[in-house]
Chains A and B, each alone.
Chain A
């Protein structure tokens, strides 16, 4: 009950934000930040539950975005079906890839995720007849999407609320998942895979399921990105986006499911402030990452959780 109340409160508070802020520029920035927060949540959840680092979640993000753009432009299916396929196809792909790749240890797995995502990037660049290469492709959205006027998905004020609610639902779902036996099992496998086998568990399938779930979350973010921007370029598949999502997760901390989302919000605010100061803003981001890694190894959420723990408050 406490969990539901916390997420309800956070959901309502966030939904009221556009009315309080008023600035379209800031709302645009925050909407992008929340979409990236969903992506970072997927990346961070993989670290939390599987102990694995993905350099390729842009692949699932971009795949989701491209499926929306390509299928609406070519009128392959109704928008509802396109959104479903845009999330399910990357999820299924991740499940299959996971079952094969998760037998590999740490760095080898990370490199394979990078390779797979870059393969999709190259595909989008070279398959001009389908994806229009580096010129990108516009999504031809219908007038109504899931019963809502499609303009609601392309205005910062309304899209922020939609994305915020989606983020809260994702975080709520993950906080439930880590509390049920499957969450305990995947955490146990992360901790000691051999012992998990010796108490009678299959270990690859649960890990693949977590990988697929994190891919689904990334694809969901990609779908929201396509709906909001109405335009998709190969940059959404590029490894740089995977790297940014990982930085967000590290800055926010992965021990709490909400850590990477917090990291994404901090990342965007810092990026915006640093961008106002200098064109070399990536150096400031890099410096911040070094500072966080050294001074706050648990990330922002871990530090907050530690402080709350000392005050006797439990966190998810």
Chain B
């Protein structure tokens, strides 16, 4: 039996009386790149947080990684089990050099592929520089590189192209698509840039008001009237 690479079952997250995530279930096939889209406040980042263990015990539901229940594991143990993530706001170590922080991630992952990741993310020329001293676009790539170290089995990317130019976004998207295919990484990506989403995703999930509104191939989702109404707007029709 083939288990989903990552499965969330009945995931719910409340903030006081507000339900940010309302019994959401999602399953990713091994090797797929799934896009997670929805308007602001739909619950996309909350879903990423619940799946990655950022919310601790304040969320309910189950998270399974290749059939193993990781719901009770803290973030660091989920990472060691093979579930990595990047963040919506750049989340790196500003005072460390690019090489030092990727090396640190490699030690945690008990792997020696730090240089491979540095090369793959086109960071070799910046390896000796402090992360605080490099450009924003490069910092975004460092953020993703930290998640890619150790070739995780599942990668959650929360708006990796946020703040990048159109050319930088597409370049990063294609880079990620190639790496995911080469390293057999299953990817769940949140992104507002539809060009990025449509260029790399084989499947889309649409969230709206904390619930799943639609699922399917990008072309089908794009044509669904309820999705157009809720998120994409008339320009996408």
Query: Nearest 3 CB-CB pairs, A to B?
Result: A200-B108, A200-B79, A199-B105
Q: Is the CB–CB distance between B104 and A197 below 8 Å?
A: no
Residues of B within 8 A of A188 (CB): 93, 96, 101, 104
The answer to whether B93 touches A195 (Cβ under 8 A) is yes
The reply on B146 being an interface residue by CB < 8 A is yes
Q: For residue A185, which residues in chain B have a CB less than 8 angstroms away from its CB?
A: 104, 107
Binary per-residue interface labels of chain B (38-76) against chain A in the complex, 1 for a CB within 8 Å, 0 otherwise: 000000000000001010000000000000000000111
Question: Taking beta carbons and an 8 Å cutoff, which residues of A are in contact with B?
Answer: 181, 184-185, 187-188, 191-192, 194-202
Question: B94-118: contact bitstring with A at CB < 8 Å (1 yes, 0 no)?
Answer: 1110001101110111000000000
**Residues A191 and B95 in contact, CB atoms below 8 Å apart:** yes
Query: Contacts of A198 on B, CB cut-off 8 Å?
Result: 52, 54, 75-76, 79, 84-85, 91, 146-147
Q: Which residues of A contact B147 (CB under 8 A)?
A: 198-199
Q: Does B149 contact A (CB under 8 A)?
A: yes
B92 is an interface residue with CB less than 8 A from chain A = yes
Contact: B105 with A194, CB < 8 Å?
A: no
CB proximity of A315 to chain B, nearest CB, Å: 15
Which residues of the other chain, B, contact A199 by a CB distance below 8 angstroms? Answer: 76, 79, 84, 104-105, 108-109, 146-147, 149
Interface residues of B (CB under 8 A from A): 52, 54, 74-76, 79-80, 84-85, 87, 91-96, 100-101, 103-105, 107-109, 146-147, 149
> Which of B84, B92, B93, B109 has its CB near the most chain A CB atoms (within 10 A)?
B93
For B76, what are the chain A residues with a Cβ–Cβ distance below 8 Å?
A: 197-202
CA distance A201 to B146 in the complex (A): 13
Asked whether, in the complex, the Cβ of B75 is within 8 Å of the Cβ of A184, the reply is: no
- Cα distance, A234 to B104, chains bound together (Å): 44
Cβ 8 A contact of B92, one of A195, A197, A200:
A195
Q: Are B93 and A191 in contact (CB under 8 A)?
A: yes
A195/B146 contact (C-beta < 8 A), A181-B104, A201-B76 known? yes
A151 to B92, CA, bound (A): 54
On whether the beta carbons of A184 and B104 are closer than 8 Å, the reply is yes
Are B96's CB and A184's CB within 8 A?
Answer: yes
One of A181, A194, A201, A202 near B91 (C-beta < 8 A) = A194
Q: How far is the CA of A201 from the CA of B108 in the complex (A)?
A: 6
Residue of B87, B96, B107, B109 touching A191 (CB-CB under 8 A): B96
Of A185, A200, A202, the most chain B CB neighbours within 10 A belong to: A200
CA distance A201 to B103 in the complex (A): 13
For the complex, what is the distance from the CA of A188 to the CA of B80, rounded to whole Å? 18
Residues of A within 8 A of B80 (CB): 200
